Every structure is written in C-alpha cells, then in structure tokens.
Structure 1
Amino acid sequence: MTEIFETQPDRADLPLVVMPASFASMVAPLKAHLPALADVARVRLYEEFTEDPDLIAERVADADVMINGGPHISDDLLRRISGGVRGGEGGHVRCIVFSGTGVASYIDLALARELGVRVCNAEHYGDAAVAEHTFALMFELLRHTGELDRRMKSGGWSGPYADGLQLAGRRLAIIGLGGIGSTVARIATAFGMRVAAWNSGHTPVSRFVELGVEPVDDMNELIAGADVVSVHMPLIDGATRGLITADNLAHLKPGTMFVNTARAEVIEPGALTARLAKGDIPAALDVYEREPLPADDPLRAIPGIVLTPHVAWRTDGAFAELTRQMVEDVRAFLTGGEVNVVVSEHDAVRGASRD
C-alpha cells in the first residue's frame, strides 16, 4: 500500500499541494522543509514513484499546486490536471513545481503557457552533484575501476585495463559554462587539466577570466582541440535543442573522451549514436534521447562506453537543496511572489534554465 503523508489535513480552508509521485530519496528532505508551508497550504505526499498518467490525474484531482517529482507530463495529462484551457472541465492545478532544472524535457512549456499554468523549477541545486558525477564517469573511462573490481573479485589480478590514463595535462573542452560547467572547470583545474569552453556569446567574459578558462568561439575548433569534451548545456527550446550537430561531432579526433551529463536533446537527434558507433570515441553518458533507455537501444551494444541511468543529480546535498527550493516555489506562488518561474500563469515564457 502506498504511504501517504499529509500536513494540516483538517485545514480545508487552505490550498492543496499534491506530490503524486516521488523518489524515495526525496521524501525525507522534502518533509524537513514542509513547516515553511504551515498556515499557507495543506500538503499531500505520495511516497512512491509512478509514471501512470491516470493515477497521477486521480491523485491531483483536487490540487491547486502539483509538485512533479519526476514523471513526464504528457500534453493530454497536462490538459486533464489543469482543466483544459483556463477553467475548462477537469482538474484545477494552477502551478506545477518541477523537481529539477531541465523542465523542458518533462513538460510542454508552450502548452502550459496556453493553459495558464505557472511552471517553476529549481536552479543550481545539483551543481556539485552533477560535476562530481562527471568526473566519476571520466575516471571510469580513464582507469576502468569497475572492470578491475570485477576481475579482482573473480580471482584475477593484472591484465587489460591495468594501465590507465591521467587527467593532468589533458585539454578539457566544456560546452556550457553555467553553474555546473563552472564547477567542472574548477575541479578540472585542480586536477591539472587545461580548460577551454565554448564562447556562446551569452556567458560573461568575466566568468572565463575568473575561472582561468580559455574562450573558444568556434565549436568545431573547440572539439577538435580537446582530449575530453564535457557537455553542460541546459535544454532551452529554440536556443539549445539540437545545438551540437553531427558536423560538430565529426571533429572529435579518435580517442577523445566524450561525456554528457546535461541533456541528450542538446545534441542533434541520432548524431551521437552514429558517431560513437564508429568505435573510436570512449564516451560516458548519463542522459538519453529516450528515458528510460530502451533495452534494445544501440548505445547498449557499443563497446568502450559507460552508461549510467540519469543519476548525476541524485546526492544527499542535491536533494536537500532541491526540496528547499521546491517548497520556496510553492510558497511564493501561494503568497503572491515569484521564485524560479519558468512559465508564468500570465503568459510570459522564460528560460528553462539560467546561469
């Protein structure tokens, strides 16, 4: 039976906030922040994860605010829970608070604007978490600790993968020098790497100077000169979707490591799989064009790459900061403020993520 946690259940005079699905790791930190909603809202938290649209719609049927703990919200579900277009039949959710930054991958922002639903996210909560996972992936490519561990436990000792590579002295190319990319740059510098980043024209020059990062205007030049390429570009429709093209990836020289812990959609559809299929690029990926990654996806069969299931953001520190911001978003909406607003209920669509 699903555990349901509620606050102020007897306060029918207060707006109802419902989280219809949640990661187990998110429950305790979220509960710790709920006192901030005392006398502001009732909260109902379902302590399980589900993607079932009918179950989600049923659970938020009476909600004014929905906290989206991870499920993809289809256009049909968004219409159902919000009552169609501005007060039609169905639910009456007026605000959706997403548990993350890249909300554009989970909700159609243009449709939310049309329906008059505010959409909020959280920002910079996972800068350290994602940056650290980025280096975990790099080190797996460099030192193959997972394979060495398996060999040791099966009775082996030395052999293939015993000789590794080092980061020190290698050139790292960062695509996306926002909060996460900047954190990656600092760590890379500490490891003795030479760091460059794509100069999109939107990143302040002062950031490059502060971090000691070389700005490179041409992405092909940046990629061609790299030993490691790490993607940290946010997904913003009309701006970064498909920004990294097949032509850009063609400039990866054999042996260049390619890491993506950002969003798969910032790469031209199919381009990365096609490039990696050549077998000369060691890659590590945490994000995919389709999630969960289908069992028959060609990426699973390409040798020399490391795959993790979109978990870079999932650490104790990230959960604590994420849930704090989620509660702050809810409180601001219900008290007339604005925090982390991506889509305004007043038809103003803003960036899906900001530096």
Structure 2
Amino acid sequence: MPGTGFPAGDDGSPHRLIVVDPHWEATWPLVAEALHQVWAGPVPVTLLRHDAPSTVTVSDLVRRAGIDPSQVAQLISLGIPMVPGDLEYLPSLREVALSPRSGYGSGVSEDLAAVFASSGIRHHAHTAEGFWGQSVAEYALALTLSGLRRIPQLHQAMQSDLRVWDYSPGGGDRPFAHRGAQFGDDDRFTSGTIAGKRVRVIGAGNIGSRYASFCASLGADVSVYDPHAPEPAFHRAGARREWHLDRLVSDAEIFAPLVPLIPATRGLVTADLVDALPHGSLVIWATRAGVCDTAAVRRRVLADEIALAADVFDVEPVPLDDPLLGRANVVHTPHNAGRTRHANRQWALLITAPFRPMP
C-alpha cells in the first residue's frame, strides 16, 4: 500500500488524511493528487492509496500504514468505506468527506450520519456537480460550433478529397444553395455563426447556465426553460426565462437540453416536442441523451430533417454500424465532456472549501 505514516518527529498536532480506492481513482484519476496539493501547507497531510482489490475500511488503512489514529483530525475518503467503528479508532476526527466507490453520492449511511451528529463530527459533501460544469458547458459550446461549421467533417474530408477546396457554385462535396470564396454554410441545416441564432436551452444549472451565457456573449438570442431555477440563474445566463417547453422548441435553431438524467427528466423532451423542432434545427447532447425521446431524435436526424452534435447517446459505446456515425448532419464524440484536469481540480477545491482552516 503506497504511502507512509505522518512525518517522523511530529509533536502530536492534528493531521489531515486522504485515502483513495483504485476503482474510484479510475473514474477521477487526478482528484487525489489535487486534494494533496490543495491541503499542502504547514499542517501535515498524508495520501494513502489502497492498491488491492479487497475491501477495506478507513481504520484498516490507517492501521496498516502505521499512522497514529489519535492525530487524524480531518479526513477525505475516496471510495474507501467508513463504518461507525472507525470513529472509535479515530478519536480526534472532527471533519470528514466521504465519496462512495461509485464516485456519486455522499457515501454516508443513515447510521453513520447519526454517529457523526452524536460525536460532533462535521460531514462535508458536494452540494451540486459544479466541479464539471465548466468542462461540460465548454464542450457543449464546442459541439455547437462544430455542428454549425461542420468542422469534423471538413477535417476528415481534407485528408482524402480536394473537392472541399472548391467553393465555386455547384462545387464542393455537398449541394449548397449558395457558394463563394470560403462560404461553407449548409442551407439544409442551421449553420454559420452562433451570433443571431435562436438558442433554446433546458436547464439553468451549473452546465446550462454557463452554456447559455457563452451563447449570449457571442450574440445569440437565448431562452432557457427550468421551472426549478431561481430568477438569478437566468440573469447569470443572460437569457430570458421560458415557462413552456412547447414554446421553447417552437422556434429553436439550436436546441440544447442540458440537465442530468433523473426520473423527473427522463423523456422530458417527448416525441411531440422533438417533432415540433423547426426543420434544420441543431440538437446538442452533452449531458444525457435520455432526456429526449431518442427514437424521435434519431428518426428526424436520419431523415435529414435536423442535425445532431452529441457526446452522449442512448447506447454506449455506439456500435460501429450505427447509422448516426459518419453522417454530414451529425457530430459525434465518445462521452468525453466532463473529465478534464480542470474538473478534477475543481472536485478537490469544492470539497475542501468548507473544512475549517487548521493552524
């Protein structure tokens, strides 16, 4: 097990401890090191990695590492379970943050929460998934620009076909109504700039509000639907609040449903709403595809009625023979939006922020 005990020669002062499970770290590979860096300072901090597939508890790791349990005052556990008995072994523990092995949720059972409360131990958890909000929102913007300008298709075509350089009327690799030097808009679908486009967004949370603000700053006309968001979220997004989904989709040139997939949002964008999208609309999938009736989206995309720029799909991995792949009206990437170095560091910064400073 990599890691050593607290620094030799210490005076019994409180210490900080980070423990991490390899399965958890496979999902968030840079968080543990980021936590170690954020906590680095005059207060000793130790990072312990459990490198075996067997299940251990926090006290097991502390015992194996030869750490004096009476010195552990603040603890962050990434995928290593904690049980009430661990608190007896760590008598000086005052603050803790737990993330379950899956990487989602608080990792605290009702029994453990009761023990925390009775022992005066403060438990910290992420209040939202803002740690990857910027990463996903920027990616959604990149998908939008790629879909509007057919950047991936042109990149691929340049490697095998000189016709992409032909801007003469009737030239090039696609049927354009208008051609001219450097003119690449595809009149069959929403294309060109974000400026001047009607961008319609579902969700004014960490991702949707950022994406809306990006588009608004580029000159788009932006409306957002989110019946649960407070009014300031729409001001932050630079967008009008829309209360009705049918109105939201009715004039959308760019349609971005950017909410998490939970029971309340599954299938939120029904087939009727998908069918109400104007011909040529560009749909952005950057959170979860299941927010939409995916069969309806597929039907319209494959009929060349709308375009799609997607990082998430109804089936993942997308089969190599999926008809969505390689189309002129589809941009596709392999569920890549959320896990950047920035998102990993934000995970660490946001979870450590509520911990009390230590002298």
Q: TM class, shorter-chain normalised?
A: 0.5 to 0.7
Letter in 2 for 1:125: F
User: How do residues 233-312 of structure 1 correspond to structure 2 at under 5 angstroms?
Assistant: 233-235=259-261, 237-268=262-293, 270-295=295-320, 299-300=324-325, 304-312=329-337
In 2, the alpha carbon distance for the partners of 1:223 and 1:186 equals 19
Residue of structure 1 equivalent to 2:214? 187
Are 2:156 and 1:150 aligned? yes
Gaps of 5+ in 2: 9-14, 62-74, 86-95, 114-122, 167-171, 175-182, 186-191
Per-residue CA distance 1:15-45 (angstroms, 9 max, x = gap): 7722313355556535423537966765216
Identify the residue that residue 204 of structure 1 maps to in structure 2: 230
Q: Deviations over 1:142-166 (max 9, x none)?
A: 1122222233333623323661222
Aligned twin of 2:243 = 217
Residues 97 and 119 in structure 1, CA contact (< 8 A), matched pair in contact too: no
Aligned partner of 1:141 in structure 2 is: 147
Q: Identity of paired residues, percent? A: 27
C-alpha spacing 1:95/1:319, structure 2 compared with 1 (3 Å): closer
Structure 2 CA distance for aligned equivalents of residues 148 and 175 of structure 1? 30
Which one of 256, 267, 280 corresponds to residue 230 of structure 1?
A: 256
Correspondent of 2:173 among 160, 176, 180:
160
Q: CA deviation at 1:313?
A: 2.2
- The answer to whether the aligner puts 1:67 opposite 2:78 as a matched pair is yes
Distance (Å, rounded) in 2 between the aligned partners of 1:254 and 1:149: 26
Map 1:122-141; keep pairs closer than 5 Å: 123-141=129-147
Give the Å deviation of 1:82.
Answer: 7.4
- Tell me if the contact between 2:36 and 2:45 (Cα under 8 Å) persists in the aligned partners: no
Instruction: Report what 2:204 is aligned to.
Output: 177
Contact 2:281 2:306 in 1 (8 A): yes
Tell me: CA distance 1:277–1:326, structure 2 relative to 1, closer, same or farther (3 Å). Answer: farther
Kindly state the Cα deviation for residue 188 of structure 1 after the two structures are TM-superposed: 0.9
Find the counterpart in structure 1 of residue 118 from structure 2. Answer: none
Would the alpha carbon gap of residues 149 and 40 (structure 1) be closer, same or farther in structure 2, given more than 3 Å must change?
closer
How many residues are aligned here?
297
Q: CA 1:108–1:130 in structure 2 vs 1: closer, same or farther (change >3 Å)?
A: closer
**Does residue 1:8 correspond to 2:8, yes or no?**
no
Instruction: Answer whether contact 1:227 1:257 (CA < 8 A) is retained.
Output: yes
Cα deviation for residue 214 of structure 1 reads 1.8
Contact 1:36–1:327 (CA under 8 A) maintained in structure 2: no
Q: What code does the residue aligned with 1:263 have? A: R
CA distance in 2, matches of 1:17, 1:27: 8
- AA aligned opposite 1:243: L
Q: Deviations over 1:308-331 (max 9, x none)?
A: 1222223333232123335568x6
Contact 1:131/1:181, CA 8 A, preserved across alignment: yes
**Match of residue 324 from structure 1:** 349
Indicate the residue corresponding to 1:353 in structure 2: none
Residue 29 (structure 1) aligns with: 34
The offset of 1:225, in angstroms, is 1.2
Q: Which amino acid aligns with 2:247?
A: E
Deviation, 1:282, is: 0.7
CA apart distance, 1:140: 1.2
CA distance in 2, matches of 1:327, 1:210: 25
Highest RCO, 1 vs 2 (Cα 8 Å, sep ≥ 6): 1
Cα separation, 1, equivalents of 2:271 and 2:108? 32
Which segments of 5 or more consecutive residues in structure 1 lack a partner in the other structure? Answer: 47-54, 69-77, 88-93, 336-355
For the residue of structure 2 that corresponds to 1:234, the secondary structure is coil
Alignment map for 1:36-47 (pairs within 5 Å):
42-44=47-49
TM-score by length of 1: 0.66
Show the 5 A alignment for 1:99-138: 120-121=125-126, 123-138=129-144
Alpha-carbon separation, structure 2, partners of 1:300 and 1:210: 36
* Partner residue, 1:341: none
- 1:126 aligned counterpart, secondary structure: helix
CA distance, structure 2, for counterparts of residue 14 and residue 119 of structure 1: 15
Residue 137 to residue 269, structure 1, CA distance change in 2 (3 Å): closer
- Tell me, yes or no, if the aligned pair for 1:174 and 1:197 is still in contact at 8 Å: yes
CA distance in 2, matches of 1:43, 1:185: 41
- Do the aligned partners of residues 42 and 149 (structure 1) sit closer, same or farther apart at CA in structure 2, a change above 3 Å counting? closer
C-alpha contact (below 8 Å) 2:213/2:239 kept by paired residues: no
